[in-house]
Amino acid sequence: EFSDILLRFCNTFYNGGNIDKWTEGCIFPFPKKDDLDLTKNYRGITIIAIASKIYNSPEIVEILRNQNGFRKIDHLSDKY
């Protein structure tokens, strides 16, 4: 039975798929400073599966590499 689960898991990745549960997250209110009775003093954070973060991290690295807004400032010192 475990080998069947592992086979489906590997086939999902091989075919470029994603595990449905990995795309779901839970939003939790995270308190800021000040009066905690006011809803404006909370911000929502989303908790997702760690495996999803690891699986998608190569995509994030590639996106950040191609975004000018996320470049290090080192490239500016060469020009000026």
Confidence (pLDDT) at 69 = 61
> Strand 42-47 and strand 26-31: pairing?
antiparallel
Kindly state whether residue 15 falls inside one of the protein's structural domains.
no
Kindly state whether residue 14 falls inside one of the protein's structural domains.
no
| pLDDT in 10s for each residue of the chain, 80 residues | 778 877 887 777 777 676 677 777 888 999 988 888 998 899 988 887 777 776 667 766 666 666 666 555 665 555 55
Total-model pTM: 0.40
Kindly state whether residue 33 falls inside one of the protein's structural domains.
yes
Number of domains in the chain: 1
Contact 47, 30 (CB under 8 A): no
Domain that holds residue 39: 20-77
Kindly state whether residue 11 falls inside one of the protein's structural domains.
no
Contact 48, 28 (CB under 8 A): no
Distance CA 18, CA 10 (A): 11
Confidence (pLDDT) at 42 = 92
Name the 3-class secondary structure at 25. coil
Kindly state whether residue 63 falls inside one of the protein's structural domains.
yes
Confidence (pLDDT) at 56 = 66
Kindly state whether residue 34 falls inside one of the protein's structural domains.
yes
Kindly state whether residue 5 falls inside one of the protein's structural domains.
no
